[in-house]
Amino acid sequence: MGARSKGAGARPRGFRFWLLRRILPLIGLLILAFYGFVILSLISLRFLNPPTTAVQMQRRAESWISRGAYRKQYEFVPLSRIAPNLQHAVLSAEDARFYQHNGFDWKEIELAVNNDVEGKRLRGASTITQQLVKNLYLTTSRTLIRKGVEATIVPLMEAILSKQRILELYLNVIEWGPGVYGAEAAARYHFHTSAAALNRDQAARLAAIIPAPRHRRPGQMNQSASRIDLRMRESGW
């Protein structure tokens, strides 16, 4: 009886081992396929503009699940058709050391960690490159897994794309309102003008809503816009 009982107990362990032998290689292949796709798509993004992004697909899925209407406004324009006012406002608001770092701003990360330790959640530390990775390939979920995957893609993006191209992609794909993606759609949606014609105040107000674009409105961002304008002046713009 004892030997029979031991044999019966060994069967599930053997099955689990067999299952792991089948699943782990599959997971490895899926990971390789994902990063292969990322690398190839980053190479293509040197010349081509993305027709959609992971976050745009996420929003469409959320709308479908909630049975709400989904209207997407998305028009990709070259950096030369985005007002320098907006470029500098976004850099001042989101990533002042964009041209100095290689995808991670360790000074901002240190400040964010210190604020977190002190119980202050006043700032984030995500660079423009990190935010672009999230928009193109991941979702808006705040999980350690997502942040870990994001951290592995950032060096690839910085190695394959130029800083100017990263900024151009970022300004064209991020959310600027419900169903509103990119600078051109944002300018037309919020100010009834083109991205090229945005003045300094409009640019600062658009930059101010980036952290919560589906809930904030430019007209409500007086203090934030003033702070961004001050940062722009301090940086010589």
- Domain borders along the chain are 1-44, 52-234
DSSP code of residue 105: -
Of the listed ranges 71-85, 107-121, 181-195, the least confidently predicted one is: 107-121
Q: With bands split at pLDDT 50, 70 and 90, how would you rate the model's confidence at 1?
A: very low
DSSP code of residue 175: B
Q: How far is CA 221 from the centre of its chain?
A: 22
Q: What is the CATH number of domain 52-234?
A: 1.10.3810.10
On the 0-12 / 13-18 / 19+ scale of CB atoms within 10 A, 167 is buried
Tell me the mean pLDDT in the region 86-90. Answer: 98
Residue 173: its H or E element = helix 163-173
Of the listed ranges 56-70, 87-101, 130-144, the least confidently predicted one is: 56-70
d(CA 177, CA 184): 12
pTM of this prediction?
0.87
**Please, where are the H alpha helices in 45-105?**
54-66, 84-94
pLDDT digits (tens, 9 = 90+) for 207-227: 999 999 999 999 999 999 999
Q: With bands split at pLDDT 50, 70 and 90, how would you rate the model's confidence at 154?
A: very high
Tell me the mean pLDDT in the region 179-186. Answer: 97
Tokens found for residue 236: 């010589």
